[in-house]
Amino acid sequence: MANPRRVDADDFFAQLPEYQRPHLGVLRELSLTADRRIEEVLHWNLPAYLLDGTRQWILQAYKQHCSLRFPTRFFADHVAEVEAAGFFAGEGFVKIPYDRGLPEELCKRLIRARLDEFAATGLGW
């Protein structure tokens, strides 16, 4: 069953089941505090974080896990770091089960690295 249509990012987070809120709430906070210019919008009914109008990363909520998704090209250089931390690295994303602690420092490093890449290259999604 598809997720219900969200009005905006606040509505997305308000409609999350209780067990998903801790991880996604922290990921939201990390996203919004990564750079004062970050804009939070919905893309594909999911929270997306833009800088200068360019999507930088997306948060995804699934039944058993959440994901922090980046451009595949960017994330390819970070797969080993994600796997070394004990998490599954998919094609452009880190999969974070709700029954495990959120790897905050890893997520901060990935977000910072994406912002640094964008500052250096201007590459979009």
Cα-based distances in Å from 106 to 15, 82, 110: 26, 7, 6
Determine the pLDDT at residue 4: 73
How much is the pLDDT for 35?
Answer: 98
pTM of this prediction?
Answer: 0.94
Is the distance from CB of 49 to CB of 40 less than 8 angstroms? yes
- Bridge partner residues of 46 (DSSP): 43
pLDDT band at 1 (very low <50, low <70, confident <90, very high): very low
Average pLDDT over residues 36-47: 97
74-96 per-position pLDDT tens digit: 999 999 999 999 999 999 999 99
Model confidence pLDDT, tens digit, residues 42-61: 999 999 999 999 999 999 99
What is the spatial order of strands in the sheet that 93-97 belongs to? 39-43, 46-51, 54-61, 65-69, 93-97, 88-89
Ordered by where they begin, the domains of the chain are 9-120 (3.90.1150.200)
Q: How far apart are CA 109 and CA 107, in angstroms?
A: 5
Left, alpha or beta for 102 (phi > 0: left; psi -120 to 50: alpha)? Answer: beta
